[in-house]
C-alpha cells in the first residue's frame, strides 16, 4: 500500500516537473526537439519480479532409449540491464542497439518501459533513431518502472536501428529495460542486436539480460529422497552479454535466458530400467531467484517403462496426393496399445487457418489437443465456410498409454491445394491470332500445356472439338475440316481441383486469297487492257479466312514489289503485270498475269477520199494538182468523204466539219460521208477524232467545190 502511494506521489511530481527530467537538444546538427514525457507504471509484473514455471512434462521412448521433454515458461519479467557505467567523452557508455523493420510511413510515439536502481538519482540516457538524436532522459532511481515516451517521431518504411545508452556520467548507473514500443511494434529489451561500450574502462560493462543462466534439473525419483540426477542444464536462448572493445576480450561472454512470457523447451536423454519411475523436473533448483510463485518450479510424472510403447500413425483420405491435400481431405490419427491409449495432436497452419474436429472448429496455432481413449482422431483442414488458406500445415501427434508411456512425436507436413491448374493453349505451325478468333491451317498442331503452379500437379487434361465427346489430351491436336470450330479444354490436378472450362473459336483456313487488279480508267480491246500514263493501277485482295497479309507484283519480269499504294505505267506499248497475295497464315495465291497496253498518243486520221492534191469529178479521182495550187482539192460534183481513224486503244467519236459547221458524227473509227450540197465556192473541211483517254487529232484541208 505504501509502495502504491509512493508511486502516485512520484507520478504527481513527474507530471508537474517533467521538464526537470527531460533534456532536449535542438542546437546540434544531429538532433531535433522532441517532446519526451515520463510516467510511472505499476502494472504487472512489479519491480524485478520473476516467475518460472515447468509445464507439459513428456516422457517417451522404448527399451533403454528414452527422452524427457518439458517447457519452461517465463511468466514474469525478463529485461536487459545496463550494469555499471562511466563517463564517456564520446557520448556513449553502456548501450544497446535494436534493429527492426517498419512496414509503413507514419508519425508514432516511441515508448520504453524502464527503471533505475542506481544509488544516485538522475542518471542520464541518450536515445537515437538511425543516428538521429531524439533526446536525453533521466530516470528517477526509485527502483520502480516508468514509461518514457518520445512523442510524434516520423518513421519511414524499411530498416531502422534504435539506440539507448548511458551518457556522460561520472558515476555507475544501473538501468533496467523491459520492452520498447514503436507505434504498435513491440520489441523485447533482451532482443538487442548489439551492445557494450566504447570506453576502455573495464568497469564499463554494457547491457546484459537478467535473469540469466537459470538451471533446470531432471531427476529419476525424489531429489530429497534418494533420487538420481539425470541431467542439469542451463535454459534459454544464448545471448551475447558483454561486447567489449577488442582490446578487452576477457569481458566478452555469453549467457542464457528466456524472454518475457517466452517458453523454452528443455530435453534430457534417459536410460531407465523396466518398471515404475517418477520423473521430477526442477527449475532454479538452488533458489537463486526470488519468484512470485515458487510452487510451479517443480513437476513430476509417474511412468511405467515397458519394452514396447504405444504406437500411432496417420492416414489421409479424399483428395490427397503425396503431401498435397484439400480442405475436404480426411485426416485420421490411429493409435494402438494392448492396454489402451489415446492420441495427442497439434496442427500448425497459416494465419487464420482452422481445422474441424468432433463437431467444432479450432485454430491451427500449434496448440496440443487430446483425443478420446481408444478412439481415432479424425479432422479436416477447413473453417466454417469450407475454406483453408494455401500454405504448409504441420501435424504433430503421439500416443500415450494408460501408464503414461509416450512414444516419440511424429511430424508430418502437408500443403493445402485449393487452386486448380491452369491450361495454356498454343500452336505449333501456321497460326494467326486476333482478338476474336484463332486462325490455323489443317497442318497446324494445337498444343495444350497445364501447370499447377506449386500445387499437387496436373493429373489430366481434357478437350473436345465442336461440342463432341470429351477426350483425354495426350498429343497435339489437328483439325482438318475448313471453317469455324470451337475447342474447349480444362485440367484437373491430383487433389481433384478442376479448372473452369475454357473455350475458344478456331478457324481452319486452307484456301489462298484472291487478288483483283484495279484500273481507274481502262479499255479492253481484243483481250488487251489499255491504259494511259495517268491511269492508276491497284490491287484488291480478299480472303474468306484469316485475311490478306500482303500483295506482291512485278512488271515485265522485273523484281517483285510489295504492293502498298497504286502506281502508274508510263512507257507506251504492251506490258505483262504479274501479281499474287498471301494471307496471314502464309498461304500463297497462284501467280496471276495480265497483259496491259499503255496508250499515251492521239489517234491517227487516214483519209482515203478525197486525197489531198487531186482533182475529183463526180466522185472520181481524175488528176493530181500542181503543188503550187492554192487548194488541196478541186471537186466537181458530189464527193464521198471516206477514211479511217487508227488508235492503240479505242476511238469512240469522229466529227466532220464544213466551214466550222458540224456535218457528221461517227461513233466508230470509220469516216463515210456524202457531200452533195449545191455550192460554187471555197470550203474548209476538218475531221476531228478522239480516243478513249481523251487524246484528239484533226485533219484540215481546203477544197474548191462546184456542185449544181
- Confirm if 325 and 319 have CB atoms less than 8 A apart: yes
pLDDT class of 624 with cuts at 50, 70, 90: confident
Tell which residue, 634, 592, 595, 584, has the closest CA to residue 613: 634
Q: Which three cell numbers stand for residue 323?
A: 503431401
Phi first, then psi, for residue 15 (nearest 5°) are -65, -40
Q: Which three cell numbers stand for residue 549?
A: 497479309
Judging by DSSP bridges, how do beta strands 354-357 and 377-380 pair with one another? antiparallel
DSSP label at residue 373: T
The four Cα atoms 276, 282, 287, 291 give a dihedral, to 10 degrees, of: -130
Provide the phi-psi class of 632: left if phi over 0, else alpha when psi is between -120 and 50, else beta: alpha
Is pLDDT above 90 for 285?
yes
Higher per-residue confidence, 402 vs 127: 127
- Reported as half-sphere exposure (CB side, CA atoms, 13 A), residue 481 has a value of 6
Beta-bridge partners for 703: 633, 683
From residue 285, how far is each of 215, 280, 288, 294, 494 by CA, in Å? Answer: 7, 11, 8, 10, 55
pLDDT in tens, 478-502: 999 999 999 999 999 988 899 999 9
Alpha carbons 439 and 458: distance in angstroms, whole number: 28
pLDDT in tens, 545-589: 999 999 999 999 999 999 999 999 999 999 999 999 999 999 999
Count each helix (H run) and each strand (E run) in the chain, helices first: 2, 58
Alpha carbons 176 and 169: distance in angstroms, whole number: 17
Tell which residue, 603, 576, 568, has the closest CA to residue 692: 603
Cβ burial, residue 10 (10 Å; 0-12/13-18/19+): middle
From residue 612, how far is each of 557, 603, 676, 679, 707 by CA, in Å? Answer: 46, 19, 19, 20, 19
Judging by DSSP bridges, how do beta strands 679-690 and 670-675 pair with one another? unpaired
Q: Can you tell me the mean pLDDT for 100-108?
A: 94
Alpha carbons 245 and 287: distance in angstroms, whole number: 34
The alpha carbon of 669 is separated from its chain's Cα centroid by a whole number of angstroms, namely 79
Alpha carbons 560 and 575: distance in angstroms, whole number: 15
pLDDT at 86: 54
Tell which residue, 230, 232, 233, has the closest CA to residue 278: 230
pLDDT at 1: 37
Give Cβ neighbours of residue 523 (< 8 Å, ≥ 6 apart): 529, 530, 649, 650, 692
Is pLDDT above 70 for 135?
yes
Beta-bridge partners for 441: none
The b-or-e profile of 377-414 (16+ CB within 10 A means b, else e) is bbbbbbbeeeebbeeebebbbbbbbebbbbbebbeeeb
Q: What is the pTM of this model?
A: 0.49
Alpha carbons 189 and 701: distance in angstroms, whole number: 126
Mean pLDDT of the chain, nearest integer:
87
Tell which residue, 638, 702, 701, has the closest CA to residue 674: 638
Q: Can you tell me the mean pLDDT for 51-75?
A: 88
Q: Which three cell numbers stand for residue 113?
A: 518501459
From residue 497, how far is each of 206, 331, 387, 493, 501 by CA, in Å? Answer: 58, 18, 13, 5, 12
pLDDT in tens, 18-60: 333 444 433 334 445 799 999 999 887 888 889 999 999 988 7
Q: Is 115 helix (H, G, I), strand (E, B) or coil?
A: strand
- Confirm if 609 and 643 have CB atoms less than 8 A apart: yes
Q: DSSP letters along 563-625, please?
A: --S-B---S-EEEEEEEEEEETT--BPPPEEEEEEE--S--EEEEEESPTTEEEETTEEEEEP
Side by side, the strands of the sheet bearing 341-348 are 324-325, 410-416, 391-401, 341-348, 365-370
pLDDT at 197: 65
Alpha carbons 270 and 573: distance in angstroms, whole number: 114
Q: Can you tell me the mean pLDDT for 174-183?
A: 91
pLDDT in tens, 511-539: 999 999 999 888 888 788 999 999 999 99
Judging by DSSP bridges, how do beta strands 275-283 and 215-220 pair with one another? antiparallel
Beta-bridge partners for 262: none
pLDDT in tens, 239-272: 877 665 545 556 677 889 998 889 999 999 999 9
Q: DSSP letters along 131-164, please?
A: TEEEEEEEE--SSSEEEEEEEEEEE-SEEEEEEE
Alpha carbons 454 and 425: distance in angstroms, whole number: 20
- Confirm if 97 and 195 have CB atoms less than 8 A apart: yes
Alpha carbons 144 and 21: distance in angstroms, whole number: 16
pLDDT at 351: 94
Amino acid at each position: 500500500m505504501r509502495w502504491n502511494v509512493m508511486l502516485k506521489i512520484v507520478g504527481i511530481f513527474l507530471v508537474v516537473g517533467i521538464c526537470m527530467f527531460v533534456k532536449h537538444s535542438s542546437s546540434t546538427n544531429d538532433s531535433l526537439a522532441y517532446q519526451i514525457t515520463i510516467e510511472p507504471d505499476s502494472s504487472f509484473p512489479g519491480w524485478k519480479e520473476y516467475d518460472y514455471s515447468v509445464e507439459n512434462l513428456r516422457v517417451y521412448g522404448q527399451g533403454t532409449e528414452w527422452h524427457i521433454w518439458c517447457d519452461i515458461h517465463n511468466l514474469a519479467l525478463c529485461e536487459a540491464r545496463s550494469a555499471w557505467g562511466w563517463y564517456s567523452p564520446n557520448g556513449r557508455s553502456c548501450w544497446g542497439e535494436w534493429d527492426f523493420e517498419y512496414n509503413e510511413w507514419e508519425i508514432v510515439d516511441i515508448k520504453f518501459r524502464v527503471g533505475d536502481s542506481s544509488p544516485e538519482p538522475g542518471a542520464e540516457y541518450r536515445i537515437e533513431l538511425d543516428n538521429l538524436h531524439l533526446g536525453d532522459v533521466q530516470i528517477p532511481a526509485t527502483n520502480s518502472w516508468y514509461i518514457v515516451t518520445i512523442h510524434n517521431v516520423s518513421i519511414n518504411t524499411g530498416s531502422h536501428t534504435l539506440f539507448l545508452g548511458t551518457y556522460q556520467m561520472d558515476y555507475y548507473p544501473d538501468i533496467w529495460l523491459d520492452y520498447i514500443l514503436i507505434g504498435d511494434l513491440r520489441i523485447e529489451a533482451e532482443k538487442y542486436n548489439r551492445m557494450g561500450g566504447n570506453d576502455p574502462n573495464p568497469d564499463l560493462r554494457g547491457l546484459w539480460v537478467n535473469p540469466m543462466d537459470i538451471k533446470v534439473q531432471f531427476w529419476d525419483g525424489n531429489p530429497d529422497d534418494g533420487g538420481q540426477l539425470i541431467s542439469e542444464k542451463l535454459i534459454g536462448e544464448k545471448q551475447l552479454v558483454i561486447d567489449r572493445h577488442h582490446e578487452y576480450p576477457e569481458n566478452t561472454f555469453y549467457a542464457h535466458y528466456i524472454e518475457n512470457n517466452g517458453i523454452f523447451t528443455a530435453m534430457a536423454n534417459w536410460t531407465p530400467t523396466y518398471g515404475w519411475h517418477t520423473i521430477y523436473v526442477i527449475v532454479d533448483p538452488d533458489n537463486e531467484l526470488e519468484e512470485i510463485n515458487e510452487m510451479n518450479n517443480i513437476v513430476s510424472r509417474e511412468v511405467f517403462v515397458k519394452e514396447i510403447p504405444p504406437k500411432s500413425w496417420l492416414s489421409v483420405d479424399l483428395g490427397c496426393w503425396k503431401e498435397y491435400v484439400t480442405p475436404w481431405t480426411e485426416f485420421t490419427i490411429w493409435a494402438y496399445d494392448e492396454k489402451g491409449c489415446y492420441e495427442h495432436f497439434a496442427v500448425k497452419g497459416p494465419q487464420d487457418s482452422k481445422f474441424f474436429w468432433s463437431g467444432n472448429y479450432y485454430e491451427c496455432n500449434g496448440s496440443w489437443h487430446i483425443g478420446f481413449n481408444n478412439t481415432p482422431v479424425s479432422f479436416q483442414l477447413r473453417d466454417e465456410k469450407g475454406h483453408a488458406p494455401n500454405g504448409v500445415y504441420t501435424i504433430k501427434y503421439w500416443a500415450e498409454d494408460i501408464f503414461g508411456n509416450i512414444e516419440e512425436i511424429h511430424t508430418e507436413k502437408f500443403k493445402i491445394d485449393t487452386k486448380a491448374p491452369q491450361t495454356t493453349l498454343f500452336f505449333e505451325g501456321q497460326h494467326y491470332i486476333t482478338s476474336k478468333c484463332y486462325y490455323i491451317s489443317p497442318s497446324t498442331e494445337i498444343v495444350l500445356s497445364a501447370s499447377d503452379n506449386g500445387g499437387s500437379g496436373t493429373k489430366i487434361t481434357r478437350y473436345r472439338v465442336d461440342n463432341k465427346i470429351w477426350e483425354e489430351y495426350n498429343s497435339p491436336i489437328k483439325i482438318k475440316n475448313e471453317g469455324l470450330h470451337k475447342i474447349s479444354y480444362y485440367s484437373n490436378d491430383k487433389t481433384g481441383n478442376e479448372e473452369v472450362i475454357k473455350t475458344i473459336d478456331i478457324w481452319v483456313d486452307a484456301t489462298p486469297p484472291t487478288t483483283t487488279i484495279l484500273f481507274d480508267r481502262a479499255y479492253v480491246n481484243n483481250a488487251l487492257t489499255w491504259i494511259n500514263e495517268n491511269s492508276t493501277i491497284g490491287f484488291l485482295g480478299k480472303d474468306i479466312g484469316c485475311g490478306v497479309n500482303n500483295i506482291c507484283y512485278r512488271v515485265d519480269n522485273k523484281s517483285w514489289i510489295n504492293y502498298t499504294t497504286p502506281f502508274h505505267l508510263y512507257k507506251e506499248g504492251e506490258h505483262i503485270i504479274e501479281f499474287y497475295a498471301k494471307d496471314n497464315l502464309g498461304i500463297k495465291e497462284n501467280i496471276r498475269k495480265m497483259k496491259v497496253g499503255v496508250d499515251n498518243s492521239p489517234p491517227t486520221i487516214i483519209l482515203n477520199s478525197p486525197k489531198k492534191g487531186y482533182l475529183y469529178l463526180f466522185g472520181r479521182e481524175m488528176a493530181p494538182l500542181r503543188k503550187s495550187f492554192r487548194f488541196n482539192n478541186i471537186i466537181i460534183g458530189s464527193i464521198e468523204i471516206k477514211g479511217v481513224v487508227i488508235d492503240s486503244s479505242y476511238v469512240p467519236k469522229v466529227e466532220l466539219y464544213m466551214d466550222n459547221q458540224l456535218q457528221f458524227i461517227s461513233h466508230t473509227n470509220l469516216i463515210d460521208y456524202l457531200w452533195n450540197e449545191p455550192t460554187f465556192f471555197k470550203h474548209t473541211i476538218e475531221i476531228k477524232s478522239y480516243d478513249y483517254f481523251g487524246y484528239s487529232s484533226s485533219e484540215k484541208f481546203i477544197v474548191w467545190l462546184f456542185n449544181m
